[in-house]
Amino acid sequence: MKRPGYFTTGEFAEAMGTTKDTLFHYDRIGLFSPEYLGENGYRYYSYRQFGMFSDIQILKGLGMELNEIKDYLLHRSPANYAGLLERQISRIREEISRLKGVLSDLEDADRLSKEALTADRTFRITEMDTKYGIRSRTKEEAFGRDFISYYERLKSAPVTTHDNFISAHISSALLEHGTEETEYIFSETEKLPLAQVEPVFPEGRYLIGYHFGTESSIPDTLSRMFTYLKANDLEPGYMCFLEYLVVDMMVLDHNDKITKLYLQIK
């Protein structure tokens, strides 16, 4: 017979948002057991156990294994509890930092994808601020065997550009003659001490255009941009940057890619 103030397994499970099978499992492994067993063999839980079960579920939700939680409970003390809380707080802060990075990446990807939906074949002139970031040191680090070295440096910094390496610097002097040569790639970062980053995109006026298609045909769009500048009595600078708006993750056909081009104006 159930004593007053006690709950059956089903009642306790429903109140705690769990299942009877979970309670049975916890009891079997010695993690969390009912306060008493009735003569009929039924398990009964007390209101005093609500807090303990809730704490176990919180620790489990934080990624602790059941055997870790059990080991703590077997050796629990105020000092051990304080140590447990410190470790979990540190773990949560690390996870928050990681999720902030993921959120920033997703927001940037969302911005780029929405811009791609409105991209057209017209050109416009825009004033750009200096961008700071981490850049490849050599061409091998940009697109060769040393790329891992560049990528490792990116992982240690709060990179803000989607996919980490979406922007590239190209010599416009070469492009004007119908050839393309990437000089470096970079990723914009959050504000860091200048000792950790460097200018990767100089401020100034830029002609903005969108290229539709594969990378191999980018010089064709850049050629039209040079023609546009000359027709408007403007002289190109020595720098040209590109940014991928539509990447492999978004399309099956490479011909559906969209690249944003920034051509410096003197």
* Residue 124 shares a structural domain with residue 195: yes
- How many domains is the chain built from? 2
Note the helical H segments in 156-217. 172-175
Does 204 score more than 80 pLDDT? yes
d(Cα 162, Cα 250) in Å, to the nearest integer?
A: 13
Contact 183, 139 (CB under 8 A): yes
* Residue 246 shares a structural domain with residue 140: yes
What CATH number corresponds to the domain at position 61? 1.10.1660.10
Does 66 score more than 60 pLDDT? yes
Residue 179: per-residue pLDDT: 55
Report strand pairing: 236-246 vs 258-265: antiparallel
| pLDDT tens for each residue of 206-258 | 999 999 998 888 889 988 999 999 999 999 888 888 888 887 778 888 889 99
Residue 159: per-residue pLDDT: 54
Residue 88 lies in a domain: no
Note the helical H segments in the chain. 9-16, 20-28, 50-61, 66-74, 78-118, 139-143, 147-155, 172-175, 218-231
* Residue 41 shares a structural domain with residue 110: no
Does 43 score more than 70 pLDDT? yes
Residue 32 lies in a domain: yes
Residue 170: per-residue pLDDT: 63
* Residue 249 shares a structural domain with residue 125: yes
Q: What is the mean pLDDT of residues 5-33?
A: 93
d(Cα 244, Cα 256) in Å, to the nearest integer?
A: 12
d(Cα 182, Cα 244) in Å, to the nearest integer?
A: 14
| pLDDT tens for each residue of 131-189 | 888 888 887 887 788 888 888 887 776 655 544 444 556 665 556 555 556 678 888 77
Nearest to 7 by CA among 35, 31, 32, 28: 35
Does 108 score more than 90 pLDDT? no
| pLDDT tens for each residue of 174-203 | 565 555 566 788 887 765 665 667 888 889
Q: Please enumerate in sequence order all residues whose Cβ is within 8 A of that of 80, keeping only pairs 6 or more positions apart, or say none.
A: 72
* Residue 27 shares a structural domain with residue 143: no
Contact 207, 265 (CB under 8 A): yes
Sign of the CA dihedral with 167 first, then 180, 214, and 141 last: negative
Q: Radius of gyration (Cα) for the chain, nearest Å?
A: 30
Strand partners, 186: 135, 167
Q: What is the mean pLDDT of residues 83-109?
A: 86
Q: Which domain holds residue 125?
A: 104-265
Among residues of the chain, what percentage have pLDDT more than 90?
Answer: 41
Tokens of 142: 């940009």
